[in-house]
Amino acid sequence: MSKDLERELLAKVENWVSANFNYQNVNVFNTIADNSLFEFIRQSEVDAEDFINEFDLWDEYNYYLAENDIEDIEDSRQDFSKDHEHYQEYQDGLQEDNYPCWNTLFEFRNDISEETIEKCIEVGFGIIEGMDDFNTTLFVSGAGYSFYAQHWIPLWLSLEYTDSEKYTNINFSHL
C-alpha cells in the first residue's frame, strides 16, 4: 500500500508541476535582464541566529548583552549581527549562493499569492520576480539531489488545496 501511495504522490506532483509551470531557459532571462538577472532575484533577510551560529559567536554575543545590559531578543541579535565585522561577508556569501544552478527555471503560469511565494522559499526555491515579461519564477541553487523529494513534493504538500493529509506518513525522500 505504501509503495502505491508513493507512486500516486509522485504522479500527482509531477502533473501539478507540468500544469502550473512553464519551463524557461535561464539564458533568456539573463538576456531580457541585460545580464543583470541578480537584480530580479529576491534576497532573503539574513537570520541573525544563523549568522551567530555560522561564526560561532555566542560567547561574543553574550558579552555584548552583558556589556550593554540588554536582553537576548531577536532585535538584540539583529543589532549585534549587523554591527559585526563578518556580517557583510556572510550576507554576500548568502547572496552569491542564491542564483540558479541549473539552466531551467520554473515560471508560474498564473499569478500567485505572497503566501505561496513564502512556501516556495521555505522548501528551498529561489525566487525571480519583477520582470515585465514573466510571472514569478522559481529556480534551484543546488545540485546532486532529487528536486522532487527536496522541493516539489514538500511544496505541493504545503499547499492548502491539496489532499496532503492522505500522504502524511509517506517517506518520499528517495523519490
For residue 135, pLDDT over 90 is answered with yes
Reported in sequence order, the residue ranges of 68-145 that DSSP labels E, i.e. its strands, are: 104-108, 126-128, 137-139
Is residue 31, in this structure, part of any structural domain at all?
A: yes
DSSP symbol at 130 = -
Tell me the pLDDT tens digit for each residue of 4-61: 888 989 999 999 999 999 999 999 999 999 988 888 988 777 677 878 877 888 898 8
Mean pLDDT of the chain: 87
Residue carrying the nine cell digits 539574513: 46
pLDDT interval class at 129 (50, 70, 90): very high
By CB atoms closer than 10 A (0-12, 13-18, 19+), residue 81 is buried
Same domain, 118 and 154: yes
Do 33 and 66 reside in the same domain of the chain?
A: no
Region 134-161 average pLDDT: 90
Cell of 161: 488545496
The mean pLDDT of 88-117, rounded to a whole number, is 83
* Residues 80 and 122 placed together within one structural domain of the fold: no
β-pairing, 126-128 vs 137-139, is antiparallel
CA 162 to CA 27: how far, in whole Å? 33
Does residue 119 share a domain with residue 37?
yes
Place of cell 524557461: 24
Are 16 and 91 members of one domain?
A: no
Which amino acid is present at 167? Y
Q: Does residue 109 lie in a domain region?
A: yes
| Beta sheet of 21-25, edge-to-edge order | 21-25, 104-108, 137-139, 126-128
The whole-angstrom distance between residue 97's C-alpha and the CA centroid of its chain comes to 11
- Asked whether residue 175 is domain-assigned, the answer is no
Domain boundaries, position 152: 2-44+100-167
Asked if 143 and 63 touch (Cβ cutoff 8 Å), the reply is no
pLDDT at 119 (0 to 100): 94
Closest CA to 37 of 114, 97, 100: 100
- Claim to verify: residue 40 and residue 104 sit in the same structural domain: yes
Question: pLDDT at position 136, please?
Answer: 97
- Cα–Cα distance, 175 to 164 (Å, whole number): 16
